[in-house]
Amino acid sequence: MSTAFERLDSDGLRVALVHDWLTGMRGGEKVLQEIASRFPDSPIFTLFHLPGSVSDALESHPIYTSSLQRAPLLARHYRSYLPLFPGAIERFDLSSFDLVVSSSHCVAKGVKTTGPHLCYCHTPVRYAWDQMETYFPKSSGPIGMVRSHLLKRLRRWDQRTADRVHRYVANSHFVAGRIKRYYDREATVIAPPIDTSYFALPAPDTHRADYFVSVAALSPYKRHDVAIAAANTLGLELLIVGEGPDRKRLEQLAGPTVQFTGRVDDERLRELYQTARALVQPGIEDFGMAPVEALACGTPIVAAGEGGVLDIVRDGLEGVLYEPHQDAALVAALQRFEHLSFDRGRLAQRAEEFSLAHFHERFAREIQATLER
């Protein structure tokens, strides 16, 4: 039997790709890139796009944006326009397409369609549910009342539009549980694809350096502050890779053994993975591609034991997991790590379960099932 992608080529089905916004190459955009690679001529519909901010592979697609593309100061203050996101995504006319594939962490899944719609859900819109206060701290008075009202409206809209999707794919069992809880829908779990031919074991004579590495955007919910506190307490060298709005605060917390690299290219990132003692992930992630990339390079993980990392790391086998809601738990986990040893080859073998080939094979089956609904 032919695969869904072969059918699309032979039948000439028109496919629309939908993504929330294109402003950088983070995990969601890397997943979109792999999906889009199977539909090279398909357009991408997105709320707004900063040209040059994503890969050449994505930029090569026709990209259609909403009216928000012309909003003032959009690049730095796009969250201020959050109340307008639902209406903007609903105004796209996708009636001429035979299949819609959305990649959604905010409102993309709410797009209106006339044909089958498959959604790869990175998370139900986190602004409206369990991370409201992370992005929008509580405020009193009229501002707080307005903010609360707008977020409640967004939650209602998010639930009301859940059935516009015919099939859901979740990036982890953690997110599948949230889809069930908030949307009352089942989801197939397909982990994001990792290029394990690029993120791979180093040369046999490569030696470990004496640092730990943390790779994530510098946002409050990533909990870099917890990693910094542990490094300060234990005097461990910690390299923090990434950029974001929380950098100034984090730099003020950092002791002399903590360094900030900012963003790095893939070659440098691979080198850091291959030589670090371990990757430290203190935040609770929906999935988290960095742990798989590190494992592929033969590097173990020390992580908060909640969220998508539970699909990746087994305590004592690929690293150390700790209770994220206990004070000093990361300190204890790092101390425990010192007494364990890990085989590079076995760690890399675990990462192969999240390879590009596995992703494409499983996602093709979901396309097929969506078309045959």
Distance (Å, whole) CA 140 – CA 157: 24
In CATH, the number for domain 4-193+355-371 is 3.40.50
Closest CA to 36 of 24, 23, 20, 19: 19
Res. 128 pLDDT band, cuts 50 70 90: low
Least confident of 74-88, 334-348, 355-369: 74-88
Write the pLDDT tens digit of every residue in 250-267.
Answer: 999 999 999 999 999 999
Alpha carbon of 326 to those of 130, 131, 169, 226, 330: distances in Å? Answer: 19, 19, 32, 11, 9
Please tell me the chain's helix, strand, coil percentages from 3-state DSSP, rounded to the nearest 5: 45, 15, 40
Residue type, 363: F
Res. 325 pLDDT band, cuts 50 70 90: confident
Distance (Å, whole) CA 334 – CA 231: 9
What's the sign of the alpha-carbon dihedral 234, 239, 244, 249? positive
In CATH, the number for domain 211-354 is 3.40.50.2000
CA atoms within 13 A on the CB side of 5: 15
Mean pLDDT of 171-175: 97
Res. 53 pLDDT band, cuts 50 70 90: very high
| pLDDT surpassing 90 at residue 327 | no
Res. 6 pLDDT band, cuts 50 70 90: very low
Residues of the chain with CATH 3.40.50.2000: 211-354
pLDDT of residue 137: 56
Write the pLDDT tens digit of every residue in 60-115.
Answer: 999 999 999 999 998 888 888 989 999 999 999 999 999 999 999 999 999 999 99
Contact 258, 234 (CB under 8 A): no
Query: What angle do helix axes 329-337 and 224-234 make, rounded to 10 degrees?
Result: 60
pLDDT of residue 115: 93
Write the pLDDT tens digit of every residue in 192-218.
Answer: 999 999 999 999 888 889 999 999 999
Res. 133 pLDDT band, cuts 50 70 90: low
Which residues are within 8 A (CB) of 48 and not within 5 positions of it... i.e. 6 or more apart?
A: 21, 22, 23, 65, 66, 68, 69, 71, 74, 78
Global pTM reads: 0.89
| pLDDT surpassing 80 at residue 10 | no
Which residues are within 8 A (CB) of 149 and not within 5 positions of it... i.e. 6 or more apart?
A: none
Pairing label, strands 279-281, 237-241? unpaired
Mean pLDDT of 337-343: 96
Mean pLDDT of 258-277: 96
Distance (Å, whole) CA 48 – CA 19: 10
pLDDT of residue 201: 96
Contact 259, 232 (CB under 8 A): no
Instruction: Name the average pLDDT for the chain.
Output: 91
**DSSP SS3 for 18:** strand
